[in-house]
Amino acid sequence: MAGLKKQVFVGTFISSKSPKELDYQHDTIVCVDGEGRIVKVDTEGGSTEQIGKRLRETLNWELSDVDVHIAKPGQFFFPGFVGECYSPRFPRKTLTETPDSHVHASQYPNVGIFGKTTLLDWLEKYTFPLESSLKDLSKAKRVYGSCVRRTLSHGTTTAAYYATIDVAATNLLADLCLEIGQRALVGRVCMDNPDMCPSYYRDESVEEGLEKTKQTIRHVQKIDPEFKLVSPVLTPRFAPTCSSDSMKGLAKIQKELDLPVQTHVSENEGEVELVAKLFPESESYTQLYDDCGLLTARTILAHAIHLTEAEAKLIAQRGSKISHCPCSNSSLTSGSARVRWLWDKGITVGLGTDMSGGYSPSILEAARQAALVSRHVAMGMDEEKERSKLTVEEVLYLATRGGAEVVGLADRIGGFEEGMEWDAQLIGLGSVDENGLAEDDGNVNVFGWETWEEKIAKWLFNGDDRNVKRVWVRGRTVHVR
Amino acid sequence: MAGLKKQVFVGTFISSKSPKELDYQHDTIVCVDGEGRIVKVDTEGGSTEQIGKRLRETLNWELSDVDVHIAKPGQFFFPGFVGECYSPRFPRKTLTETPDSHVHASQYPNVGIFGKTTLLDWLEKYTFPLESSLKDLSKAKRVYGSCVRRTLSHGTTTAAYYATIDVAATNLLADLCLEIGQRALVGRVCMDNPDMCPSYYRDESVEEGLEKTKQTIRHVQKIDPEFKLVSPVLTPRFAPTCSSDSMKGLAKIQKELDLPVQTHVSENEGEVELVAKLFPESESYTQLYDDCGLLTARTILAHAIHLTEAEAKLIAQRGSKISHCPCSNSSLTSGSARVRWLWDKGITVGLGTDMSGGYSPSILEAARQAALVSRHVAMGMDEEKERSKLTVEEVLYLATRGGAEVVGLADRIGGFEEGMEWDAQLIGLGSVDENGLAEDDGNVNVFGWETWEEKIAKWLFNGDDRNVKRVWVRGRTVHVR
């Protein structure tokens, strides 16, 4: 990672100032050092000579020593997307899953496949067999390599991954993230409840599960000792597949090593009932995680659709974060998570693709779907209808700073402030000539009369990986189109 | 159109057998004559020599005289999509619009732009000014050219377009469809209610509106006398913008010339209340159209979300069709149309993008959103939950045969039977190599172990225009990637 050439980025930079507002900085220069850190944001503009002079005076940099990236007219730099991207969950209803602030990397081949399966069916028919098969490392390499490259091509610079229960395949995913250059939380999936997991795909005992998890932690510590790019994440699949001893064991590791945790909560009503039945001693699904010591400020809870007021209050108190996975929730008929309601409670929210529960590898698609799902929430309300809807600005906040807060990296990624790391994407939109012919291959057509706000809305709603011209993580170019 | 070379298509053909079932025909040969008509579907396979012999015997064709198109392994032929694609409606709530079995071609530049506008706001701020500006024919050429090419690139071989009130610009849209080669219903928008339409953008009187409409009809009759490709469609924007005299006048033209009609009904609750207020003498919104003589078997009603039982019954009795626009309905918080419920009443349903109320120009996206919206319908139900959901097969039916029925062309397009016309798209999906590198640029990754049903599901959920390798309308190649 070290030893990158110094870089200077020139052009328009757009990022979230707050959930309500995007910041548009034109004619701006962002300087990134050899460690991928933003060391200067210069908005003074001017001639090359003037810029060179300022670089020399403030950073002691010579323009001739740096790589200069100039955005073309109409292009802009945007923070890389941050997303949770899981591995198989239990309560599947009718579609399948894909990756990011909740990505099940192992399920990537199944995106779009779900048929008419429900709940247990889905896991048994599609998910467990696929996950289990990834103990074949050549297959894992193919699936994970494809998943990491694909999410990067969509501008996802940071992903929280659920791998599988297999140690070697989980370690391979961490290796691939480091090699290809995606910032990632990589978790070995823990699942040891023999009543809920198939005999061919589960941890044999609490001890075995914890030991295997430690093996993956040690591996990641070895390949990236300072967690510069890749971090382990404790990953109890979700309560129904885990014994309380195993969850408590993971909580103990969490406290010792101060690691992040990821799991699912309250995705669908059947699951909530099941948890109540399996763990009658806990007052609620959320309370169960708290009783096991897993509801920490570093915990990422996916879905959180059917929470009670008491559960939301508890999550807010503990400072746990929520990964909203709208694509998955609509596809599987899980329900519509109430982002405004969660925000009102003071809870931090990010986005997840939840492949293959969600069908798309794109966090931009997740942001789009978050806008749509918020409107379905509004349809069901008598009051606060308008307020429930999420704006373009708000869903792009979820996709960047929100996600960064969820994965505990808000001080390093999600914006373009000095001191942050250069995790960014260069976005280009296509323009239309006098005959209506588009210059660009993507689906965003710019006619020339749009304001910047309108261009951003067009990008959100019709943009895809074709608009992502280049992606950087910690200053390193990791994708070029 | 006539005088095309004879063509033979070889490979896998997938089309809807019924809403419940897709038909997979492998190793099949489809023969298309110089008029773009399917004259033979041959499933016997065999060597080139054997095929040549059969062509000679049954059609008296020599293989050397025909253009042969062979689908590569993994590719397949699928019927072109049919969609309603409007022009601006009244009850906009929070997003914008795009085109197909309900496309407002004139609003194409506004896709994705809607901000936080509601209802009248949206029309006043975004829609009317843009539509009005298209009386500048150079601008209209740019907007319509882009819209027709863009929808074709997504496999939309037939679109029902709302243009604007301007005669010359509407005629230009018809000209462009004919020239570029998209099958289309092209409608001049009628709107003459001075209380609901801005002074700069409305028909001055009932007479003027009807006369202008006749001018566009005459133009289309001149450029395509037999309506081989382009047909006029009577287009009262929707009840609030129309006087009852103008609607009755259009109904009179409809009867005289047996033309199709398109309009909007029951898109949002505010609109329903408004119609009740404006037309107190009619029992319901639907009844109003019937009272004016516009509820015919050739009438296409967009949206139809908040229909009562009585209204649905009336629509079924009259044989009017419905264009379901899920993207638009979610974006604008209009509500969730109940497709299963409409089908249960015996009503024919197709899909519309409703650009720019819907943000996407793609009918495949509309099909995907139809699946998602049906799940939101299911979430709100206590019983019939499972039944409300639409399957992959059902939404692809809506996108092809359903749409063909809606636009009155079910005998000519939507499938691959002998006697039908060759409106088709060649679909290719990307495969993934041993290192997880995708061979194709699109978002559908095929690993090789998928069944055909699974490949179709992957295409539905992650496919886009990149998977559309070639598009034909009436045998003519109209798009190549």
Q: Is A379 in Cβ contact with B336 (below 8 Å)?
A: yes
- Tell me the per-residue pLDDT of B5-43, one tens digit each, with 9 for 90 and over: 999 999 999 999 999 999 999 999 999 999 999 999 999
- Is the predicted pLDDT of residue A90 greater than 50, yes or no? no
Residue the block writes with tokens 């955005």? A71
- Across A429-433, B64-68, B471-475, the highest mean pLDDT is recorded for B471-475
Is this structure's pTM higher than 0.95?
no
Residue A183's beta-bridge partner residues? A158
- Is the predicted pLDDT of residue B107 greater than 80, yes or no? no
Q: Is A116 in Cβ contact with B391 (below 8 Å)?
A: yes
Using CB atoms, pick whichever of A118, A436, A444 lies closest to residue B149: A436
Mutate to test the interface with B, among A116, A333, A365, A373 (most CBs of B within 10 A): A333
Q: Which of B95, B99, B97, B96 is nearest to B84 (CA)?
A: B99
% of chain A exceeding 90 in pLDDT: 77
The pLDDT value recorded for residue B89 is 37
Chain B residues with CB under 8 Å of A330 CB are: 372, 375-376
Using CB atoms, pick whichever of B138, B360, B435 lies closest to residue A141: B435
Using CB atoms, pick whichever of B112, B138, B378 lies closest to residue A434: B138
CB-facing half-sphere around the CA of B287: CA atoms within 13 A: 13
CA A102 from chain centre, in angstroms, equals 5
Residue the block writes with tokens 């099909």? B367
Strands A38-42 and A103-104: unpaired
The pLDDT value recorded for residue A251 is 98
Chain A residues with CB under 8 Å of B118 CB are: 386
- Is the predicted pLDDT of residue A298 greater than 70, yes or no? yes
Please name the residue of chain B whose CA is at the shortest distance from the CA of residue A392. B115
Is ipTM beyond 0.85?
yes
* Residue B420 DSSP code: S
- Is the predicted pLDDT of residue B103 greater than 50, yes or no? yes
Tokens linked to B46: 């065999």
Q: Is A113 in Cβ contact with B454 (below 8 Å)?
A: yes
Residue A33 and residue A9 in contact, taking contact as beta carbons nearer than 8 Å: no
Reported confidence tier of residue B95, pLDDT bands at 50, 70, 90: very low
Chain A residues with CB under 8 Å of B144 CB are: 436
Q: Is B461 in Cβ contact with A360 (below 8 Å)?
A: yes
Tokens linked to B49: 């020599």
Rounded to the nearest angstrom, the minimum Cα separation between A446 and chain B is: 7
Residue A114 and residue A95 in contact, taking contact as beta carbons nearer than 8 Å: yes
Chain A residues with CB under 8 Å of B437 CB are: 145-146, 149
The pLDDT value recorded for residue B413 is 98
Reported confidence tier of residue B102, pLDDT bands at 50, 70, 90: low
% of chain A exceeding 70 in pLDDT: 93
Mutate to test the interface with B, among A359, A382, A429 (most CBs of B within 10 A): A359
The pLDDT value recorded for residue A86 is 57
- Is the predicted pLDDT of residue A97 greater than 50, yes or no? no
Q: Is A465 in Cβ contact with B95 (below 8 Å)?
A: no
Average per-residue pLDDT for chain A? 91
- Is the predicted pLDDT of residue B101 greater than 70, yes or no? no
Reported confidence tier of residue A88, pLDDT bands at 50, 70, 90: very low
- Is the predicted pLDDT of residue A397 greater than 90, yes or no? yes
Residue B188 and residue B113 in contact, taking contact as beta carbons nearer than 8 Å: no
Q: Is B335 in Cβ contact with A379 (below 8 Å)?
A: yes
Q: Please enumerate in sequence order all residues whose Cβ is within 8 A of that of B468, keeping only pairs 6 or more positions apart, or say none.
A: B153, B154, B155, B425, B426, B427, B479, B481
Q: Is B288 helix (H, G, I), strand (E, B) or coil?
A: helix
Reported confidence tier of residue B58, pLDDT bands at 50, 70, 90: very high
The pLDDT value recorded for residue A125 is 77
Please name the residue of chain B whose CA is at the shortest distance from the CA of residue A326. B372
The pLDDT value recorded for residue B45 is 85
Please name the residue of chain B whose CA is at the shortest distance from the CA of residue A393. B115
* Residue B74 DSSP code: T
Tokens linked to A191: 């699942």
- Is the predicted pLDDT of residue B93 greater than 50, yes or no? no
The pLDDT value recorded for residue B119 is 53
Using CB atoms, pick whichever of A149, A435, A458 lies closest to residue B111: A458
- Tell me the per-residue pLDDT of A449-460, one tens digit each, with 9 for 90 and over: 889 999 999 999
- Tell me the per-residue pLDDT of A357-367, one tens digit each, with 9 for 90 and over: 788 899 999 99
- Tell me the per-residue pLDDT of A27-86, one tens digit each, with 9 for 90 and over: 999 999 999 999 999 999 888 899 999 999 999 999 899 999 999 988 999 999 999 775
- Is the predicted pLDDT of residue B437 greater than 80, yes or no? no
The pLDDT value recorded for residue B322 is 98
Please name the residue of chain B whose CA is at the shortest distance from the CA of residue A441. B466
Distance CA B59, CA B273 (A): 60
The pLDDT value recorded for residue B91 is 31
* Residue B92 DSSP code: -
Rounded to the nearest angstrom, the minimum Cα separation between A330 and chain B is: 6
Please name the residue of chain A whose CA is at the shortest distance from the CA of residue B435. A142
Average per-residue pLDDT for chain B? 91
Cα A267–B327–B336 angle (5° rounding)?
Answer: 65
Q: Please enumerate in sequence order all residues whose Cβ is within 8 A of that of B253, keeping only pairs 6 or more positions apart, or say none.
A: B210, B213, B214, B217, B234, B259
Residue the block writes with tokens 């991928």? A36
Three-state SS letters, chain A: CCCCCCEEEEEEEEEEEECCEEEEEEEEEEEECCCCEEEEEECCCCCHHHHHHHHHHHHCCCHHHCEEEECCCCCEEEECEEEEECCCCCCCCCCCCECCEEEEHHHHHHCCCCCCCCHHHHHHHHHHHHHHHCCCHHHHHHHHHHHHHHHHHCCEEEEEEECCCCHHHHHHHHHHHHHHCCEEEEECEECCCCCCCCCCCCCCCHHHHHHHHHHHHHHHHHHCCCCCCEEECEEECCHHHCCHHHHHHHHHHHHHHCCCEEEEECCCHHHHHHHHHHCCCCCCHHHHHHHCCCCCCCEEEEECCCCCHHHHHHHHHHCCEEEECHHHHHHCCCCCCCHHHHHHCCCCEEEECCECCECCCCHHHHHHHHHHHHHHHHHCCCCCHHHHCCCHHHHHHHHHHHHHHHCCCCCCCCCCCCCCECCEEEECCEEECCCCCECCCCCCEECCCCCHHHHHHHHHHHCCHHHEEEEEECCEEEEEC
Using CB atoms, pick whichever of B112, B391, B460 lies closest to residue A458: B112
Residue A132 and residue A80 in contact, taking contact as beta carbons nearer than 8 Å: no
CB-facing half-sphere around the CA of B479: CA atoms within 13 A: 28
The pLDDT value recorded for residue B384 is 84
Using CB atoms, pick whichever of B112, B330, B444 lies closest to residue A376: B330
Q: Is A141 in Cβ contact with B460 (below 8 Å)?
A: no
Distance CA B80, CA B363 (A): 10
Rounded to the nearest angstrom, the minimum Cα separation between A373 and chain B is: 8
Q: Is B336 in Cβ contact with A457 (below 8 Å)?
A: no
Rounded to the nearest angstrom, the minimum Cα separation between B434 and chain A is: 5
Chain A residues with CB under 8 Å of B361 CB are: 443, 462
Distance CA A49, CA A116 (A): 64
Q: Which of A409, A414, A450 is nearest to A430 (CA)?
A: A450
